[in-house]
Structure 1
Amino acid sequence: MGFFSKDIRTLDDLFVHTLRDIYYAEKQVERTLPKMIGKATDPQLKAGFEKHLAQTKGHIGRVEQVFELHGIRAKTINCPAIDGILEEVGEVSSDIDDREVLDAALIASAQAIEHYGMTRYGTLIAWAKQLGRSDCANVLAKNLKDEQATDRKLTEMAEGRINLQAA
């Protein structure tokens, strides 16, 4: 089913479709983060990725909670956008030999992942509110807050020392 599929007729249909999209994305990120942890050489970056892996597991649980609150079965749909971002993570991390440059590239890749999540969660929250589902919006807002905090921490690491070391 494409994003603007004939199966999407209402805002509720679009909400469910996008919820399934972020569910898939979070599950794919959960599978990719251990590889990023293994590639990272900076101890603080490695620890940050480990923390985000634990958060991602929580995100998955919250998305499952929203499915339940909304009265629908939790299931994924393929998301070519996150697949492309994660494919790029693998390509970039396999092409870089310098460990400081690799850490800078991993941060950039992680931020692409975070920004995707922020766009999806922000949209889902707005739609949930429009649909009168503040219960769902409140749960999703916790995931958005985590994504924003992780993005800020990655920026601080990059600007504080990782990019300088890579230069």
Structure 2
Amino acid sequence: MSKLTTLSVLLEQEVKDLYNAETQLVKALPKMAKAANDKALKEAFETHLEETKGHVERLKKVADLLGIKPIGKICKAMQGLVEEGGETIEEKGEGVLRDIALIVAAQKVEHYEISGYGSLKTLAGVLGHDDLVELLQTTEDEEGEADKKLTSIAERLLPQALELEPA
């Protein structure tokens, strides 16, 4: 681990952290899509997989602009979130309940990413990397849209799940 000496070093560490987080998601999202019962949820995961591949490429560009390699840091927070998502995939039970559980797991990931990109964008802006701010804003916006889509699917599924509650 490198020594934290400047905001620039922090920015570089956070780029590497998010790059690792996104590469972990490229591996996890197909499993979530496969586990989903609801067609719209399955499609949302598949669409977000393609977006996530774009996020990886965008972070490579950010790293290039900073003159760094985006590798070398493990995002332990994402490891934990992906592990939790894996546990959700293994859950037995009604399809609609599993789908909602998958949405909960996915939204935890989205909120982590939204905060990560927001912080990264702020650091880049303070350091005068306006070119990076625009790239990071695009990704943050996509993460926010993915979160909204998951909320919309959950709102549609929740009444079905509520019917499973004892009277």
Q: Please confirm whether the aligned pair reaches a TM-score higher than 0.5, indicating the same fold.
A: yes
Kept in 2: contact 1:104–1:162 (CA 8 A): yes
1:30 partnered with 2:26: yes
**2:65 corresponds to:** 69
The counterpart of 1:8, out of the listed 1, 4, 14, is 4
Kept in 2: contact 1:23–1:76 (CA 8 A): no
**2:165 corresponds to:** none
How far apart in 2 are the matches of 1:144 and 1:49? Answer: 17
1:46 partnered with 2:42: yes
The counterpart of 1:86, out of the listed 82, 88, 93, is 82
The residue identity in structure 1 corresponding to 2:76 is P
The counterpart of 1:163, out of the listed 143, 158, 164, is 158
Alpha-carbon distance change, 133 to 152 in structure 1, aligned in 2, over 3 angstroms = same
3-state SS of 1:72 partner: coil
Aligned residues: 162
1:110 partnered with 2:106: yes
Give unpaired runs (5+ residues) of structure 1: none
Kept in 2: contact 1:15–1:127 (CA 8 A): yes
State the shift of 1:74 in Å. 2.4
1:59-111 CA distances to partner (integer Å, 9 max, x unpaired)? 00000000011111221411111111110011122123211100000111110
The root-mean-square deviation of aligned C-alpha atoms, in Å, is 1.0
**1:122 corresponds to:** 118
State the shift of 1:122 in Å. 0.0
Question: Superposed, which structure 2 residues align to 1:126-141 within 5 Å?
Answer: 126-141=122-137
The residue identity in structure 1 corresponding to 2:96 is E
Give runs of ≥4 in structure 1 deviating > 3 Å: none
What fraction of aligned residue pairs are identical, expressed as a percent? 40
How far apart in 1 are the matches of 2:72 and 2:147? Answer: 25
How far apart in 2 are the matches of 1:76 and 1:120? Answer: 17
Kept in 2: contact 1:124–1:140 (CA 8 A): yes
The counterpart of 1:20, out of the listed 7, 13, 16, is 16
How far apart in 2 are the matches of 1:118 and 1:20? Answer: 16
Give unpaired runs (5+ residues) of structure 2: 163-167
How far apart in 2 are the matches of 1:54 and 1:93? Answer: 20
TM-score (norm 1): 0.94
